[in-house]
Every structure is written in C-alpha cells, then in structure tokens.
Chain A
Amino acid sequence: MWSALVDGLFSGVSIGSVLLLSALGLAIVFGLMGVINMAHGELMMLGAYTTVLVQGTLKGTPLFDSYILFALIASFIVTALFGLLLERTVIRYLYGRPLETLLATWGVSLMLQQFVRSVSWEFIIGTTIAIALFMGGTIGIKRIPAKFRDVSTAGIGLVAGTIALQISNALGNMYGLFMTKPWFGAQNQDVTAPQWLRGGLKLGFVDVQFSYVRIFIIVLTVICLAAVYFFLNRTQWGLRIRAVTQNRSMSSCLGIPTDRVDALTFAVGSGLAGIAGCAVSLLGSVGPNTGQNYIIDTFMVVVVGGVGNLVGSIVAALVIGMSSYLYGTFAGQIPVIQDLSKAIGIDLGAQTMAKVVVFALIVVFLQFKPGGLFPQKGRTVDA
C-alpha cells in the first residue's frame, strides 16, 4: 500500500518535473513575452545534442565522471546564444504579429531538425561561405537604384549559392569522408548517464527504487525554478523584464532599453530550453525529432497554468504529470474503462492512451476556464 503510493507520487512528480523543466523556458518566452516560439522544442534538441558533443569530447578524460555538469552549462550557453541570434534576426521584426511569429519559428524548427541531420564540415563551410557572400553582396548593392535591387539580390543569391556549392564539393572531393560525413546523421544518439547517476536509491521502509536520474532531474528543476525566481524578482534586469512585459511603451519612456530587455529575456528562455534538453537526454536517446516530443507538452503546461504566470506553470506541470501517471497506471483496472474499451475496440486503459485522455481532459477544461488555472486579472489583461 505505502509502496504503491510513494511510487506513484514519485513517478508523478518526476514526470511533472520533466514537463516543468521543459516548459520553464517557454513560460518566459511565451508567457511573459507573448512570443509563440514553435522552435522551443528544437532549442531543447540543440541542448541535447550539445550534451552528446560534450560527452564525446570528455570521454576518456578524468572529467568524464562529471561531464553532465559541463554539459548543462554548455547547453545553456549554446542555446542562449542561438536564441539571441534568433531574436535579433527573426523574432524582433515580428513582435505583435503572432501568426507570422508562429509560421517563422515553425520554419526555424524545421531548419534546425534538418540541420542536425545533415551537418558536416562540408555543410558548415558551404553554408558559411554562402551566407557571407550573400550578406557582403547585399551590402555592396545598397548604392544600386531601388528598381534593380530585387533582381540583383536574386542574382547575388544565385552566385553566392553556386560558389559555395562548388567550394564545398571541391573540399568534399579533396578530403573525402572527413568533410562529407555528417556529425550526427539521422539516427539517434545515445547519452549515457555518468556512473554516479546510474541505479537508484532504496529506502528501507518502502519497496520502491528512486532512480538517481529522476532525482537529479527533480533537483535540477527546483534549482532552475529558484534561479528564475531570483533572477526575475531580485535583480535589476529582472525588474526591467517585469516592467517591459507589463507596459512596454511606458517602460521605454522611463529609459529602459526595451530592445535589449527583449533580447535578454528571449536568450534566458532559450537557455532554459537548453538545460531541459540536456536533462531529457538522460531519459532516452537523442534524435532530430527529440524536440517534437516535447513542444506540445510544454505549450499545454503554459496554457493550462495561465499564460504569464510562473506559479501556474508549476502547478499545471505537476497536475498534468501526476494525472498522466495515475491514468496510465490505474485506468486499466477500472471496470467502466474496461467496458468502454471493449465496446469501441481500443484499449483505453493502455499506458500510451494516458496522454490522449489527459489532453482530451485539458481541451474540456479550457472550454470552461479559457484563461487556465490562474488567469491574469485586472488591467494587465488589456495592456
């Protein structure tokens, strides 16, 4: 009896903490800034791949035992920098236009998925050359009269692409496999947990094993939450972020550099996605589609919790995690569900159905409370 209860509680909290950790970045980017970032899952994937790289680099060195700590830091930095780049080059131009943001970031997510499949030295060199030539070319034609500019831009694009393709092909021929072999390819990569995270903790009074990896993720989630709370509520940049998210134009009139605040907020949210990616890489193998597995869940957590409310996200993640686990474990034993399953010929009690049912419940829930568990009240709603 006690064992089942403790086991259920632990599993629920552990699923919830994975959800929460992956949704935390989105709670900032989508919840606070209102940016619908469909590439959030791919930012997690970048974090996971960074972990693969760090693990590969440190293999055989004395630091390998603690590689996961370096991987966490590296994932945060890599994804935060990528987020910064994304904000400066794409999202900045789309503030206040949710539909365009959704489409653009979805495009970015597809590009990132393909990027990790095809990335190789040849690919990197070719792309860099193409972008550099194109950018240089477009700056060069600033003096051309406006009516020829479209044609010349297209021309430069073609030329830059051709040159880059030729060079990368030549490099590929010269150096062979070293250049052309994809770093990761389409197949999944495995991250092995370091020695000290394998196995689990056994407590005397219950017959349950607490997996160290899961404990690690729960602790990491708590640390990240505390760090985000501290950053938003106790630092000057946090104060600026809260001011800008509540009243952008007035904040600007007070002298707050809103564009820098936007960039920083987005970078922090992206960095958190990276940390989440690093953490989930411990749970299963890492592939180009890793991000896709999490994107729906993370949006669900933020929406159910109430957009713009970090506490709401925490509660929502735990509730969704707990109910998925409980349903998956116990639904098969409930007579009504067994009968219903027989009637429609689908096993509703199966573990894989848990998510389907929970999401169906969320849909119903949102019909009654469209603002989520903790909707925003008062004047902020209109601002």
Chain B
Amino acid sequence: MQSQTFSNPTSNSMANGDRPATLNLSNLNVYYGESHILRSVDLTIHPGQMVCLIGRNGVGKTTLLKTVMGLLPARTGIIEFEGRAIGKLTPDKRARLGIGYVPQGREIIPKLTVQDNLLLGLEALGDRAPKNQKVPDEIYDLFPVLKKMLTRMGGDLSGGQQQQLAIARALMGQPKLLVLDEPTEGIQPSIILDIENAVRRVVETMGISVLLVEQHLHFVRKADWYYAMQKGGIVAAGPTSELSQDVVQRFLAV
C-alpha cells in the first residue's frame, strides 16, 4: 500500500518562514518484533501549532508518540526536531532538547511527593536548570489544585490530579513541543475542561507546539490541525475547522 502524503502548510497566524518545523517525521516505519506497526508515517508540526492525532484504538497513535520520544526505535525513517535529526538519541537527550512528554497512564512517580515530581520536571533543563529548586507560580496558576497537594505522595492522587501533575511536570522543563497522550482518558468532565483550558492557554501564552492524541471531539476541535490514522498509517489530515461529521465518525471511537 502506497501511503499518501498529507502536507501541513504553516498556518498563517504563526507563520515564520525561516524557522524549521518543530517536529518533522518522514517515512517512519516502526515494528514490534516482526509486526509492522507504523507504516511510512509523515507528519509535520510547525512552531506554535497544536496538532491532534485521531484514530480508533490500536491504530498506532501511542506507538507514534513513543517513537517520537525515543522509547521505541524506528526501523527506517527520519525524525527531525527543529531541523535536527534526533532518531538516534536516547529519551533523556530528547527531553533535554525540549520535548515534554505526558504519557498515557500519566506515569507519576508514585512514592515521591507532588513537589518532588514537579521538581523532576526541571531535569529537562539540564544545565539551564535554576539553582534554587522552586516551582514557578505560573504552574500553580494553571493547576491551582497542585498547590494544596505538594507534600502528598504522587501515587495517592486521583486520576485527574495525576493528569494535571503530569502536564505541570512536563511544563516545568519549558518544552518547545508538548506531547500529550490521551490526557482526558478516564477523567471526570469538569476536570477535562480544566485540562483543555490549561493546554490551550499554554499554547497561546508560551507559544509551544503540541502533539495531542485525543478521543474527545470537544478537545480535538481546540487543535489547529488534525491527522487521522488507520492501520498504522496517516490516512487523512486537515485543519480541525474542516473536520467533517464523516471523518469524525470514521476516526473517533465515540
């Protein structure tokens, strides 16, 4: 099957012709053992753009994010971050370049306090980390609930609180690209709205790019651009404003 290429033009409001794409994947192929999971995936995220990846369960969305993060090796293909090939780097080096990862299941370090979990986010800054280990106020502005929880163990928090902690932790490293894997999965509706608003606010105020995997249509529509996946390949793409009912029916598991 020859996959089509769906180009993603720089959206005009963020246009900055000289800057390379924040993330550029071309012809990416990933295998689990012998089974072919990602088939020639091409994907581009421009600076300041929020891109949403949609598709039903098991089509390879999480695999794609893990490959971007370096948790899974790509057999062939190119991963470029700000014009630099990062396919051979380990996850910690990618994090230090400016990719913040919020995985599915949140992966809060359970036996560390919320404060320590947040401070671990500073690791991504490497040598640029401030000498005084402090959580900046902006983080509490985004997620006020965390301020009351600082001394609690990360593992004792509720799902929604853990999700907010995971996003806050990723933001502590001042990433240029925030990778979010189903941030609203299994979380009560009121907190989903908080998370949506926080992410949207981050995109607008900090100018960072976002790669989002999401099932909630409401959240998907907050993104600028979407890519739809099926059987390990990208099969549709376009601005989210043009998301038709037909596409939604085919690619969202709702």
Chain B proximity of A241: nearest CB distance (Å):
11
Chain A neighbourhood of B71, CB < 8 A = 249, 252-253
Which B residues touch A383, using CB under 8 A?
110
Q: List 18 A-B contacts (CB under 8 A).
A: A239-B120, A243-B112, A243-B116, A247-B110, A251-B120, A252-B71, A252-B92, A252-B95, A253-B101, A253-B103, A253-B107, A254-B95, A254-B173, A255-B126, A256-B92, A256-B123, A380-B111, A380-B155
Q: Which residue of A lies closest to B154 (CB)?
A: A246
- Which residues 94-152 of B have a CB within 8 angstroms of A? 95-96, 101, 103, 107, 109-112, 116, 119-121, 123-126, 133
CA of A257 to CA of B90 in the docked complex: distance in angstroms?
9
A142 at the interface (CB under 8 A from B): no
Contacts of A236 in B (CB 8 A): 133
**Does B91 count as interface, using CB distance less than 8 angstroms?**
yes
- Inter-chain CA distance A180–B121, complex, in Å, is 56
Assembly CA distance A206 to B125 (angstroms): 60
Is A254 touching B123 in the complex (CB atoms < 8 A)? yes
Choose one: B70, B95, B120; the contact of A243 (CB below 8 Å): B120
Taking CB as reference atom, which chain B residue is nearest A260? B92
Q: Is the CB of A257 within 8 A of B92?
A: yes
Q: Is the CB of B155 within 8 A of A256?
A: no
A242 near B123: Cβ-Cβ < 8 Å = no
CB distance from B116 to the nearest CB of A (A): 6
What is the total number of residues of chain B having a CB less than 8 Å from a CB of chain A?
Answer: 27
Q: Give the contacts of A226-259 with B (CB-CB under 8 A).
A: 236, 239-240, 242-243, 246-247, 249-258
Q: A239-B120, A240-B123, A254-B95 are in contact. List 13 more A-B contacts (CB 8 A).
A: A242-B109, A242-B116, A247-B110, A250-B109, A252-B90, A252-B92, A253-B71, A254-B101, A254-B169, A254-B173, A255-B173, A258-B92, A383-B110
CB of B120 within 8 A of CB of A380, answer no
B-side residues, CB < 8 A to A, are 69-71, 90-92, 95-96, 101, 103, 107, 109-112, 116, 119-121, 123-126, 133, 155, 169, 173
Q: In whole angstroms, what is the CA distance A346 to B174 when docked?
A: 70
Contacts of B123 in A (CB 8 A): 240, 254-256
B119 CB contacts on chain A under 8 angstroms: 239
B112 near A246 (CB under 8 angstroms)? yes
Check A147 for interface membership: any CB of B closer than 8 A.
no
Given A255-B95, A380-B111, verify A239-B116 contact (CB < 8 Å).
yes
Asked whether A247 lies within 8 Å of B107 as measured between CB atoms, the reply is yes
Residues of A within 8 A of B95 (CB): 252-255
Bound state CA distance, A251 and B92, in angstroms?
8
